[in-house]
Structure 1
């Protein structure tokens, strides 16, 4: 292969061992890779890892497999891992965001590093008994000794969606809050309160905790819309799943979305465009988070600085948000009687 590429054996070793950066030029590295492809060369990873005392395997810990967001995180992480010859084991923690048990007899003997998404660092103590390199995703950057943290700009996402509703004229909000004790949901609540507090006359009239299910979102929204407080004109939901439940609650109470109550979500799941009207939400680029996390872990494994990263998010405005009390074209409110029967003023 060295002869075919016109380089030394040492250069081939650096390139095929993915240690060429800063030592070999990009054109030379590409010449070596081209020669490898032409000759059908495949490195003996097992032999190399045995020699180096590494498994070249990373564990990706997520709270659940049922959430589409974590599937995106895995897809991004696996793509970057494949580029660097790293295998990925996906581990949904049996305790959700709680303590994650070591799925192996010894994580240190089986793995080279751990990536954990949307979990607290202290939930990973069993996995980190051997001081494995750790990269945290969507987790509190102040409470971890991780090699790097990759976070979505959650606060900015909640600011964007709240400012969107404020610009439409909303002043009475209800927060349909995920009943999950994690950094990412605490940041949502703090950003909503901070943004609303900056506008005269605006208030969060209710914060209703909800299990992270459609049914949980529906029950929380019903409480917010029928309580003794002033009825909110906008329901700000921590997740698209909760928002789907909030839209369902509005329908059950004969309230039109968005004419009589606006609803917003968070994440931009496939569900966001399956509901009618389609959901205004904050898009969280899950694959980008997973990819950045794996790049940071590979850097740590190679002895390079692992970059702490903040990934930007984007407000996607669709059909569930509009000015409060938007009038029908004919000026009639045909559902007032139905709302009165449902107990909604």
Structure 2
């Protein structure tokens, strides 16, 4: 029987075993498994090496390779929270690209993305090759700037010039899409349920919404802020909605939320006020988390391609480590229309 699998009890396969199985040199194996084969080895040969390595169950000795190459092929991903679905998806995208290039990703939370963050590797900076920071305030990154490592920023202020690369979402266009959707359905009285966390991404949402609504005469918008907690969002929305039977018919007809979690609180507030969604009140979110289809009615929201953000961030870090330039085009976002929005009720 022929094959390349390694029987139980035998020694761990080496790069020499892979070379022998693929019919190539050890140098070729190193090029292919180190992802440096393009332009030097044919695609057919590279595929043969990968197949042989996979069949043998070969795993490179990362410790030895790190000593030989002078780096550990490890990236640090800094996020404001581990419990937020957006950052979990960012990690998934980054880790997928990293794995394709023999890198690992260590995730580190810096609460709320505010600063200054503690340096998690104060005594082991050599354990990292670069840092990716998602949705972080500029002042939160002081510790990481001092590490003399490439820094890639995700969903962060483009005015900060001291980074190797940046990957942003077209947040402004997302909020414009929300505003256009509601204005076209006759809404003129709005509540903006904004995040209480000071951050570039939320500042962009506020400016974009105000600018878009100002293009239509007769619009009104009131901004209230809440932490990313359902109960806090519900309380803030209840206060903003006021008495649905109040004088003048001035009750808002739409609540625009900075995130899906805030929108869930807004939906609860509407029910407490005796308002029907979307007949009496339209509600929009921003994220398109799993929560968006778990609530009733399902939430009209802006879909953010979080995994692509992570993928692009890791690719940008790899490019920076190789001395390649990285284009900084914003990733597009998409308004997903569901049951929580409808034409404005008659005055």
Q: How many residues end up aligned between the 2 structures?
A: 326
Q: Is contact 2:112-2:197 (8 Å) kept?
A: no
CA-based RMSD: 2.1
Tell me the alpha carbon deviations over residues 140-173 of structure 1, each in whole angstroms, 9 at most, x when there is no partner.
1121421111111111111111111111111111
Task: Kindly report which structure 2 residues correspond to 1:66-145, keeping only aligned pairs within 5 A, or say none.
Answer: 66-94=83-111, 96-106=113-123, 108-145=125-162
C-alpha contact (below 8 Å) 1:296/1:306 kept by paired residues: yes
1:121–1:144 contact (8 Å) kept in structure 2: no
In 1, Cα distance between equivalents of 2:89 and 2:45? 34
Aligned position for 1:224: 240
Question: Is 265-274 or 302-311 further displaced after alignment?
Answer: 302-311
Is residue 322 of structure 2 the alignment partner of residue 302 of structure 1? yes
| Higher mean C-alpha displacement, 33-42 vs 192-201 | 33-42
Question: Is the CA contact (8 Å cut-off) linking 2:190 and 2:252 kept in structure 1?
Answer: yes
Other-structure match for 1:342: none
Unmatched segments (≥5 aa) in structure 2? 1-17
Q: Please point out which of 270, 288, 291 is paired with 1:250.
A: 270
TM (norm. structure 1) is: 0.88
Query: Which string of whole-angstrom CA distances, capped at 9 and with x for unpartnered residues, describes residues 234-258 of structure 1?
Result: 1000011111111111111111111
1:247-285 CA distance string (max 9 Å, x none): 111111111111111110100111111111111111112
Q: CA deviation at 1:59?
A: 0.9
2:30 aligns with: 13
Match of 2:43 in 1: 26
**Residue 286 of structure 1 corresponds to which residue in structure 2?**
306
Shift of 1:286: 1.2
Distance 1:252 1:158, change over 3 A: same
Does structure 1 residue 37 correspond to structure 2 residue 54?
yes
- More off after superposition, 144-153 vs 255-264: 144-153
Equivalences for 1:319-334 in 2 at 5 Å? 319-325=339-345
Residue 235 (1) aligns with residue 258 (2) = no
For 1:124 and 1:6, the matched residues in 2 are separated by 48
Residue 261 to residue 107, structure 1, CA distance change in 2 (3 Å): farther
How much does 1:226 deviate? 1.4
Unaligned runs of at least 5 residues, structure 1 = 327-344
